[in-house]
Amino acid sequence: MARSLVIKVTAGADAPERCNQAFTVAAAALASGVSVSLWLTGESSWFALPGRAKEFSLPHAAPLTDLLDAVLAVGRVTLCTQCAARRNITVDDLIDGIRIAGAPAFVEEVTAEGVQALVY
C-alpha cells in the first residue's frame, strides 16, 4: 500500500521558516510520487487567498507561490473551517482548488491507513 502525507501548516509570515518548510516538504513529497494533503491553519490561512503567497518572501527558499501551485496541481489543499471564519474568509474568496473543511475531515484523513501526519 502506498503511503500518503497530511501536512498541517500552522505558521505563516509570523514564522516564515517553519511555514516555508511545510510547503517545501509538501512539494518535495509530491515530486517523489507521494500523495499529499496540505492543511492551511492559523496564520497560513491567508495563503488560501489569491496573491497572498506571492507576498511571502524568505531568503534562499523557493517562492511560496510556486510551492503552493505545485501542491494544487496534484495534491489537495484545505483551509480550516474555524480559521477561515476567524478571518472572515469565505469559499468565494479562495484560490480555485482550495476547499474549506473542519476537524472531522482532518481527523478522518490523518487516521486513515497508510497516512503520515506532520504539523509545522
> In this model, does residue 104 exceed pLDDT 90?
yes
pLDDT digits (tens, 9 = 90+) for 10-49: 999 999 999 999 999 999 999 999 999 999 999 999 999 9
Q: Is the pLDDT of residue 1 over 80?
A: no
Rounded CA gap, 30 and 117, in Å?
15
The pTM (predicted TM-score) of the whole model is 0.95
Residues with Cβ within 8 Å of residue 25, at least 6 apart in sequence: 5, 7, 118, 120
pLDDT of residue 2: 79
